[in-house]
């Protein structure tokens, strides 16, 4: 049974009780992420997430780790564009103490100058590591093309300059501005009682206050010309990321695009996998996916390609996209995509952690959790005509954004730009 309660200070609590599970997963979500940052403090949300684990008002750094890991659990956190989440999965008998730890590090971190310097060094190394991983860095280059001069087009970790000048004042100011009860969701799943969690949250966080005055810069929804970033680097393999601006989370065609993504590159039965890898051997890996935010989204294709085959691979990928836009999909692949989506969706909610993440992300972004039946109903309502219509709308050559990392020759660069219709 799923329950949602809102406290008087607007903290929302959502739970899904599974009496037969041995585990419990808990997340403390805050609607504060990378897109809420300005140029000067880029990376502050991620920095704050890091430093929270260095110690809080009630727990030392060692206690935070030992009290969770010492009972066989694990804890972590992530920073995204629109939210930050501190979470843990533990044996169900330890969920109350785990909640207290997560709540304490989220809302009462110490943020000392000594810890800031330690984490500054760690994050700077993290930024270097990402730049050394072309399969990751190519995604950042793509986002810069999709959202130029916008927080969404900048690294969540920040830059060497912004992280290098980050101060305790920056972290405390960001926390004071965004870590507010109305921005907070507590999500939990497993062998636990909703009313018991509500009581714990009330006692721990019920006196928090503060009105929301934070906002973010709206993202663009359209573009008039394709863009390309070719990044020369000596690698053993070319890394390609191709993307189109797409739908926001609540768009009416969200599930149409999700099925289109599966048909094109969602699994080993997909068109791109069969055409690019299986039939032609042009890439070791090729896949597609979607990401949706409150006011924008992206449909993307990623591939790892032999250095000598990058032009042929891109040419074939673009032909596959053009073909589905012009000719639509076959009945059998359409049905397979529907069944695959529904099967993956149901399997993905079997674990308490997956359920917790599903519920928390739903409430933090939409103030509700979509039911399984509602999702399945929407997937079943999609038609083949919808797929063709959305493919033509999204996969517009003028809206193409292409990022490639690798040791490209001048001839290859010229051919790649020509394929992407860039002058």
Residues annotated as catalytic (active site), given as ranges? 49
Nearest to 197 by CA among 63, 83, 64, 26: 26
With 0-12 / 13-18 / 19 or more C-beta atoms within 10 angstroms meaning exposed / middle / buried, residue 354 is middle
CA 395 vs CA 244, 273, 293, 300, 323: distances in Å: 7, 18, 19, 10, 11
Taking the CA atoms of the chain, what radius of gyration do you get in angstroms? 23
Using CA atoms, how far apart are residues 304 and 420, in angstroms rounded to an integer?
A: 18
SS3 of residue 304 by DSSP? strand
Using CA atoms, how far apart are residues 385 and 46, in angstroms rounded to an integer?
A: 42
Beta bridge partners of 288: 301
Take residue 29 and report the two structure tokens written for it.
């979500």
Answer for the pair 46, 34: CB distance below 8 angstroms, yes or no. yes
HSE, side-chain direction, 13 A CA sphere, residue 285? 12
**Could you say which DSSP state residue 54 is in?**
G
Measured in whole angstroms, the distance separating CA 175 from the mean position of its chain's CA atoms is 21
Beta strand pairing status for 227-232 and 401-406?
A: parallel
Beta bridge partners of 325: none
Measured in whole angstroms, the distance separating CA 21 from the mean position of its chain's CA atoms is 27
Take residue 80 and report the two structure tokens written for it.
């995204």
List helix spans (H) across 148-297. Answer: 160-164, 168-178, 194-205, 254-265, 271-272
With 0-12 / 13-18 / 19 or more C-beta atoms within 10 angstroms meaning exposed / middle / buried, residue 362 is middle
Using CA atoms, how far apart are residues 5 and 178, in angstroms rounded to an integer?
A: 21
Using CA atoms, how far apart are residues 38 and 34, in angstroms rounded to an integer?
A: 9
- Cα–Cα–Cα angle for 302, 354, 258, nearest 5°? 40
**What are the respective helix, strand and coil percentages of the chain, to the nearest 5?**
50, 20, 30
């Amino acid at each position: 049974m799923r329950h949602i309660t809102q406290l008087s200070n607007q903290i929302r609590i959502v739970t899904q009780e599974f009496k037969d599970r041995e585990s419990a997963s808990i997340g403390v979500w805050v609607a504060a992420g990378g897109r809420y940052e300005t140029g000067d403090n880029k990376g502050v949300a991620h920095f704050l997430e890091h430093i929270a684990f260095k110690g809080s008002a009630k727990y030392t750094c060692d206690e935070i780790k030992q009290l969770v890991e010492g009972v066989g659990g694990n804890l972590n956190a992530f920073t995204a564009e629109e939210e930050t989440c501190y979470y843990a999965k533990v044996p169900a008998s330890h969920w109350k103490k785990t909640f207290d730890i997560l709540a304490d590090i989220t809302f009462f971190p110490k943020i000392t100058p000594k810890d800031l310097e330690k984490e500054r060094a760690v994050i700077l190394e993290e930024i270097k590591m990402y730049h050394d991983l072309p399969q990751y860095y190519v995604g950042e280059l793509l986002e810069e093309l999709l959202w130029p001069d916008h927080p969404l087009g900048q690294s969540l970790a920040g830059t060497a300059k912004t992280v290098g000048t980050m101060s305790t004042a920056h972290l405390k100011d960001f926390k004071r501005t965004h870590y507010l009860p109305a921005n907070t969701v507590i999500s939990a799943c497993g062998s636990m009682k909703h009313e018991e969690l509500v009581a714990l949250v009330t006692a721990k966080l019920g006196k928090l206050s503060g009105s929301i005055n934070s906002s973010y810069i709206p993202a663009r929804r359209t573009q008039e010309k394709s863009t390309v970033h070719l990044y020369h680097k000596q690698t053993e393999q070319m890394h390609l990321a191709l993307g189109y601006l797409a739908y926001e989370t609540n768009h009416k065609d969200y599930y149409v695009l999700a099925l289109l993504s599966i048909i094109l590159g969602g699994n080993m039965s997909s068109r791109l996998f069969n055409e690019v890898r299986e039939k032609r051997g042009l890439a070791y890996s090729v896949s597609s996916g979607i990401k949706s935010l409150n006011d924008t989204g992206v449909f993307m294709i990623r591939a790892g390609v032999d250095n000598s085959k990058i032009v042929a691979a891109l040419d074939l990928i673009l032909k596959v996209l053009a073909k589905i836009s012009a000719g639509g999909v076959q009945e059998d692949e359409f049905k397979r995509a529907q069944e695959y989506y529904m099967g993956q969706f149901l399997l993905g909610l079997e674990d308490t952690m997956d359920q917790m993440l599903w519920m928390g992300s739903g409430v933090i972004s939409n103030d509700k959790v979509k039911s399984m039946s509602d999702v399945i109903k929407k997937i079943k309502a999609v038609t083949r005509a919808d797929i063709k219509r959305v493919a033509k709308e999204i996969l517009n050559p003028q809206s193409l954004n292409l990022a490639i990392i690798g040791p490209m020759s001048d001839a290859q660069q010229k051919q790649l730009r020509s394929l992407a219709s860039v002058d």
